[in-house]
Chain A
Amino acid sequence: MFPPWLAGGLVYASALSLTAGGITLLYITTRTFNFAHAGMATFGFYITYIFYSFRGGNLYQYLPLSFLFGSLLGIICYIGLNRPLLRRQASIVTLMMSTLGYDLILLSIIQMLCDYLSYTFKLYPRRVTMSAYDFKMFGTSAASIISPIIAITILTLLHLFLTRTKFGTSMRATIENPILASASGINSDKVYLMSWVIGGGMAALGGAVMSLTMTGTPVMGMTLIAQMFAGAILGGLESIYGGILGGFIVGLAEYVGIYYLAVMVGPWVLGYRMALPLLIMVITLLLFPRGLAGIQWSYLMKSIKRARKGVKS
């Protein structure tokens, strides 16, 4: 159904959309740029890998476990680190540095976990190709179909949560005007906790999905953190939907873009694939600082509708 380069690209882009969405959520609620997203994503991958290695079966059934573990990591980060700093009204840079410290600890735990797994269980956790355990579906890898579906499902669930539930609406209120929300009786603590639960979960889920196309390594998250941020920045750091869309675009542009460049000029370009998300990020920051969120979607929609009507009559 999809040529292999597109199949891989869809998985890669879906994974980035999940992680970028998580980063955006955490930023718009707690003003924290979550560096630990790297570690959480890597952990998500390893949770799926470990469960699959020991229990076998369909690897997709373990993805929800990754999400839950990511949420747990997020909760720990919030209670131990983020909340005390928020109460002190720490600066954005301080918040970012604190998540960096947390990420380093996560990284060290992952490395030690890998040591333990290879020594005790004779596994090879430092270079894992999960795609080998995937199955085929409609002539292409199952991952290329399921990953976008996962991304869209999460997007939909988030949307319903945020618009149809009282708590979700209170999250939107807190994001827009935290002071008014608090003065209305909304407990911001619960809102922030929930954003870490969701954000951490999305990070871990993204990492697990990413491993379906990329080689799983202990530093997988660390290598990709710049792309995750690029996606969030493209999204505009104003709405989660922007982040999800931004992550998807950055992922697809990088994966497909570098493939085409390699075909045109030669495989030596592959080493420089980082340049593409970097370019997108720089262009967004310098020319369109509000990113995708800056585009007036309602205005765009109306213009399209008007154009259609004009064509018809």
Chain B
Amino acid sequence: MRNIGDVLKQNLMKREVIISLVILLVLTYLAISYGLSIIFSTIIIFSIFSIVTLSLNLEVGHTGISQFGRVIAVIAGAFVVGAIPGRILAFLYGLPFGLEYADDSVNYKVVPLIHKILEKNIALALGFFLFCLVLAGLSGALIGWLTSRPAIRLSEAYLGISLLAFGDFFMWVGHNWEPLVGGTTAVFIPDPFRIVWGYRMQAVAFTFLAIAVLVYLFIERITKSPFGRTLKMLRDSPLVSRVYGKNIVKIRTQSLVIGSAIAAIGGALYVIYTGTCTAIGFTRLTWTFWPWAYMMLGGIGSNIGMVLGVLVLTVLRTLIILYRKSVFGFLLLWGIDPIWLEYTLLGLVIIFIVLFMPYGLVPEKTETVLPSGRIKAILESVRKQSSQTPENGLKSSLRLKK
């Protein structure tokens, strides 16, 4: 085991800074070559997936739950926003709001009418937006609570598979049950950003990024708090936790509720951004596996690593989409669409991480409760003390056993 000195050194964020700088350079280059809209859409996607991945990290990295059903909470947020807020507005303004709201022949007429109302009324638009988020958060929390019931009794891989299967199931329900979110034909989401007319991209990017930052700060707060430390203890030594009287069931449930609420908000943001809610778009690939890849690349258990992972891979994916014709265009000679390489990339990334970087870009650090300055001071004073005591006397109590 390393000693305190090494731990303190490691907590400096050299690696993260370098990677962030590289990414910034790439983004600048892209902005210059392709215009700013690329940057904005990247920021939006980055924000949404950061939120989802941070929620995943809370459950997997900090609490040790095999959350292979992340898509469930995202769907909860997305579907709820697709099904309810629009209907409420429709009801308030005398438009059809019942089961027929989601019917494709009705929906595409109703929503533009709602837009006309939202355009003029900034308070309403803001209220609508916040209402969507709150609603999503609540439904996510509910889903999290429901998920916690099996999570208590099943372990590891079994839990993972069950959650995975449930994720698929909910997607199919949304796909088949038309009144919910239009089944196969999707439902339009009233757009609260209509107010900002020509600057929608920028407004959305700015808002979403702000929300992502808030989520990040919130999660940092939680994980560095006593609650967060309890989570880690639970993850590493469940038996010891029980001995210390920690209620494992309650704490895991709390973690799942918070995580799912956050993920649901991410789902809500996504449908608000795209303006539609299509059930079939919520595949496990996009909303469970990609977040897992982001998390693994970033380093399970590290919040800043999470963000870095999302950043790196989002930019990589954007690059692939942009350059697929030029770099991989040769594949078209055989009729092969280079878009499939995105799957290959994801597969290779996962395999690479698993084999060569199991701890990710930012390995989980040994947490220090006190700031590093104070720890150094304590070390110094103890060393001075022990050098003054007789030979077979005190051993420094801070010397960690090798």
Contacts and interface: CB of A to CB of B under 8 A. Distances in A.
Interface of A: 33, 81, 84-85, 90-94, 96-98, 100-109, 111-112, 115-116, 118-120, 226, 229-230, 233, 268, 271-272, 274-275, 277-278, 281-282, 285-286
B354 A108 contact: no
Given A93-B160, A108-B344, A112-B336, A100 B289 contact: yes
B164 to A, nearest CB: 7
Contacts of B168: 226, 274
Interface in B325-376: 331, 334-337, 340-344, 346-351, 354-355, 358
Given A104-B347, A274-B169, 11 more contacts: A85-B354, A90-B354, A101-B349, A103-B347, A104-B350, A116-B335, A119-B334, A119-B336, A229-B165, A230-B165, A271-B172
B137 to A, nearest CB: 27
Given A101-B348, A104-B350, A94 B358 contact: yes
Contact of B354 (A33, A94, A230, A275): A94
Contact of A101 (B162, B334, B350): B350
B162 A81 contact: no
Contacts of B331: 112
B98 interface: no
B175 interface: yes
A281 B350 contact: no
B149 to A, nearest CB: 9
A105 B289 CA distance: 13
A116 B334 contact: yes
Contacts of A271: 172, 175-177
Contacts of B161: 33, 226, 229, 233, 281
A271 to B, nearest CB: 3
B146 interface: no
21 contacts: A81-B354, A93-B66, A97-B350, A97-B354, A101-B346, A101-B350, A104-B344, A104-B350, A107-B347, A108-B344, A111-B343, A115-B336, A116-B336, A230-B165, A233-B158, A274-B165, A274-B169, A274-B172, A282-B150, A282-B162, A285-B162
A101 B346 CA distance: 7
A93 B154 CA distance: 14
B156 interface: yes
B31 interface: no
Contact of B347 (A91, A105, A112): A105
A81 B356 CA distance: 11
Interface string B39-75: 0000000000000000000000000001000000000
B355 A115 contact: no
A122 to B, nearest CB: 10
Shortest Cβ-Cβ A-B pairs, 3 listed: A119-B335, A271-B176, A101-B350
A286 B158 CA distance: 11
A107 B340 CA distance: 9
Contacts of A116: 334-336
A102 B168 CA distance: 20
A278 B165 contact: yes
Given A81-B355, A115-B335, A108 B157 contact: no
Contacts of B169: 274-275, 278
A108 to B, nearest CB: 4
Nearest to A101: B350
Nearest to B333: A119
A2 to B, nearest CB: 28
Nearest to B342: A108
Nearest to B344: A108
B292 interface: yes
B173 interface: yes
Contact of B172 (A84, A92, A97, A272): A272
A93 B157 contact: yes
B350 A100 contact: yes
A285 B150 CA distance: 9
Interface in B277-332: 289, 292, 296, 331
B9 interface: no
B165 A281 contact: yes
A97 B357 CA distance: 13
A108 B343 contact: yes
Nearest to B354: A98
B44 to A, nearest CB: 25
A105 B334 contact: no
B153 A81 contact: no
B108 interface: no
Given A98-B354, A105-B348, A93 B156 contact: yes
B166 interface: yes
A104 B346 contact: yes
A92 to B, nearest CB: 5
Interface centre among A84, A91, A229 (most CB of B within 10 A): A229
B32 to A, nearest CB: 31
Given A97-B354, A101-B354, A119-B334, A278 B66 contact: no
Contact of A96 (B160, B336, B347): B160
